[in-house]
Amino acid sequence: MGTSPRTHALTLSTLFFVLIVAILISISQARTLKSFNNSISIIFVFGDSTVDPGNNNYIGTPFKSNFPPYGRDFVNHTPTGRFSNGRLVTDFIASYLGVKDYVPPYLDPTLSIEELMTGVSFASAGSGFDPLTPMISGVIPMSKQLEYFREYKCKLELAIGKRRTTMLINKAAFIVSAGTNDFVVNYFGTPIRRQSYTVSGYQQFLMQLVRQFIQGLLNEGAQKIAMVGLPPMGCLPEVITLSPDAIFHQRQCVQSLLSIARDYNQILRKNLKAMHSGSSTRFFYADIYQPLSNMIQGHSSGFEEVSTGCCGSGYIETSFMCNSESAVCKDASKYVFWDSIHPTEAAYYILFEALRPTIDIVFKE
């Protein structure tokens, strides 16, 4: 008995449909496998204003930036609490890893479980490794940030179970950026620590606290940790302005602070190398000193102003001193600094580009 043309057409249509479904399933499985092998699906951030996306909005401190002109070049021109005109390095990293477009602040009460499952920042502008540093500014200490992370884990375990939470944590990227405030705000800003420590002694004191913090992350399951070094602190516009010799050096960087930052970074690298030895955890040192120094010294094209910020006079304004009444430059992308302390989004992007080869090695498999 022969097959009718209609039946034959239906058979071909059915086979074609089955083939398409099989291809789609195969593609889906391949994508899932690629995502799994790509390792990172969640990002956690700790530290200070360089990586705080708005946690200070929810605490009683004057050191906030959730008002114009901050966020002028962010999505919808919205001030979020980021101390810049736009995105931070950690936002660029999260986007590059395919995790999310922006890293939200943990203290934002509107975050969904789905948002929490791809990572948050616990950082607080003004914080540092020395417990005295956050006390000066009334912000969140590093120890409290770690405590918030433990709280975060409990929330996730209730929502998705302990086993799945552990798997997420083990595959997460941990980024820690702090230390500048310990020197600029604390050691050189107040006399307390200088009465007890020489500069080298204070560096060693901080390194003990850094190791202690890293151990806290390890105890919570961290397996991939990036530690950000100090920037060229002596080139921050506010530091230049407040330097005793400012009137004589025509807004040149303060060399003594540059030397301190380089020494600290060398000590940090040695400590990370020592901690990595014999450990299954992968550490990497994120160098922001050299790329930021290159921008300031004119080795990176596109910047016309490198010693003052875009906001106000650019000499001293930051946080509440940079506000809706402040004069602001027309094009922030021509400035290395947004206010007298913090880089512009354009500078942060160049920092991200400089870190990208290391990110590929450590965070991408």
Query: Would you name the residues annotated as active-site residues?
Result: 49, 339, 342
SS3 224: strand
Q: Which amino acid is at 138?
A: G
Q: Which amino acid is at 228?
A: V
Query: Left if phi > 0, otherwise alpha if psi is -120 to 50, otherwise beta: which for 27?
Result: alpha
Return d(Cα 251, Cα 277) in angstroms, integer: 43
Backbone angles phi, psi at 279, to 5 degrees: -110, 145
How is residue 24 written in tokens? Answer: 């789609």
Query: How far, CA to CA in Å, does 163 sit from each of 157, 159, 160, 219, 289?
Result: 8, 11, 8, 16, 39
The dihedral built from the CA positions of residue 77, 236, 176 and 173, taken in this order, carries a sign that is positive
How is residue 129 written in tokens? Answer: 């490794």
How is residue 104 written in tokens? Answer: 């939200």
